Amino acid sequence: MLHDTDTRSRILDTARQLFHSRSYADVGVKEICDSASVQKGSFYHFFPSKRDLALAVIEDMAEDWAHGFVAEAFDRDLPPMERLDYMIDAAYYWQKAAKDLEGRMRGCLFGNLALEVSTRDEVLRAKLMAVFNKTRDRFRETMEEAMETGAVAPLDAKATADAMLAYLEGIILLAKTRNDPEVIRKLGPAIKTLRIERMN
Amino acid sequence: MLHDTDTRSRILDTARQLFHSRSYADVGVKEICDSASVQKGSFYHFFPSKRDLALAVIEDMAEDWAHGFVAEAFDRDLPPMERLDYMIDAAYYWQKAAKDLEGRMRGCLFGNLALEVSTRDEVLRAKLMAVFNKTRDRFRETMEEAMETGAVAPLDAKATADAMLAYLEGIILLAKTRNDPEVIRKLGPAIKTLRIERMN
């Protein structure tokens, strides 16, 4: 059983690295097996298809993310608007670390996959949408609390949270295209200026 | 010569459609040749490599874009802040038209390619960055004019323009992930709330 868990997580880790640093279509099952030193038969025992693997990679990354810097950023002990600064800082340092190591900014795995596969795979699209919606809900709670404490004037918290998530993905996209994590640091703080009013 | 021009533009149009509705890696030269009813020899006469084709597709799309709705949106006869509304409307109607036709929101070809190829192809990344920078400059002129006319308080026009472009790409990314162009219409107007202050 220990051996099984090891093999599965070795496949997962390898696929996550390769999908993130390149793309989903560009990385085949054979390359993943070779890099993870796993036989194809063993691969298909854990993941009947490449899509099943991608679902597990997204799940795995979303868990790490939710319990890692997203949990830290959206810590209820921080004043609401400071959580947004924390989130931007975390995205910046994380992208910068990868750039320093590999010379290339990888961007957000979820954003990368969303643009690559959304028109072609409804199952993966739905999974990525669910991950985005969960993150949006953290922004939403933050904006609701910011309204309660008077840190911001009344606004449409759900729509503003969507706007903030979209902006975060957008600045990571632009930073990746320029291969320059400083774009995140420069543009990031403006996330706090986004406002969508309530409809009457 | 007429025949040559026809063949080249048939390849370009086909590749643009296929790259946009799927992805760069997912579409091979053989499929493009088959769909465009062109021989492989003829393809390589015009485009020595798939990368050369991608460069031409980006150029072609950027030209259409610049002379099409970007030119209309950034019309100097419109008050500056109305140009931003026009740009959002144009993005919405364009994405909605494709969704109505194909059932899938394609997103922005430049954003899609940027996230897919930026870590793997410096030439394509540089080309996409140049397209983004050109669009950013239209936002920048708009914000400079908005400051001159007093429509907005003084701000860092270049950084705010980057933020606006990033936001536009971000809301298209989120809309594509939800396969719902209404996301663009709902979140779009908040582009006008983005502000990056001048540094002292």
Question: What confidence tier does B100 reach under pLDDT thresholds 50, 70, 90?
Answer: very high
* pLDDT given at position B61: 94
Chain mean pLDDT for chain B: 95
Average pLDDT, chain A: 95
Convert the pLDDT of each residue in B115-144 to its tens digit.
999 999 999 999 999 999 999 999 999 999
Partners of A169 on chain B (C-beta within 8 Å) are 169-170, 173-174
Q: How confident is the model at residue A1 (pLDDT cuts 50, 70, 90)?
A: very low
* Torsion of the alpha carbons at A124, A127, A133 and A138, rounded to the nearest 10: -120
pLDDT for position B114? 98
Asked if the interface predicted TM-score (ipTM) of this complex is over 0.90, the answer is: yes
Of B23, B106, B169, the CB nearest to A173: B169
pLDDT: which is higher, A121 or B69:
A121
- Average pLDDT, integer, range A116-141: 97
The pLDDT of residue A200 is above 70: no
Q: What is the pTM of this model?
A: 0.96
In this prediction, residues A26-48 reach a mean pLDDT of 96
3-class secondary structure for B120-142? CCHHHHHHHHHHHHHHHHHHHHH
Residues B96-117 have a mean pLDDT of 97
d(CA A107, CA A117) in angstroms, rounded, equals 16
Q: What is the pLDDT of residue B122?
A: 97
Identify the burial level of A57 via C-beta atoms within 10 angstroms of its C-beta, where 0-12 means exposed, 13-18 middle and 19 or more buried: buried
**Mean predicted confidence (pLDDT) in A27-37:** 96
Contacts of A191 (CB under 8 A, 6+ apart): A84, A87, A88, A164, A167, A168
What angle is formed at CA A176 by the lines to CA B92 and CA A23, rounded to 5 degrees? 85
A62 touches chain B (CB under 8 A): no
When CB atoms are compared, the residue of B128, B177, B183 closest to A177 is B128
Interface test with B, best of A164, A173, A194 (most B CBs within 10 A): A173
pLDDT in tens, B27-39: 999 999 999 999 9
Residue B2 confidence (pLDDT) above 60? no
pLDDT band at A199 (very low <50, low <70, confident <90, very high): confident
- Taking Cα atoms as reference points, which of A185, A159, A157, A158 lies closest to residue A171? A185
**Can you point out the beta strands (E) in chain B?**
none
Contact status of B22 with chain A (Cβ, < 8 Å): yes
Q: What is the pLDDT of residue A68?
A: 85
Structural domains for chain B: 1-48 (1.10.10.60), 68-193 (1.10.357.10)
For residues A121-142, average pLDDT: 97
A49 and A57 in contact (C-beta within 8 Å)? no
pLDDT of residue A3: 66
A:B CB pairs within 8 Å: 158
Burial class of residue A6 in the structure, from the number of CB atoms within 10 Å of its CB (0-12 exposed, 13-18 middle, 19+ buried): exposed
Phi, psi of A165 (to 5 degrees): -65, -45
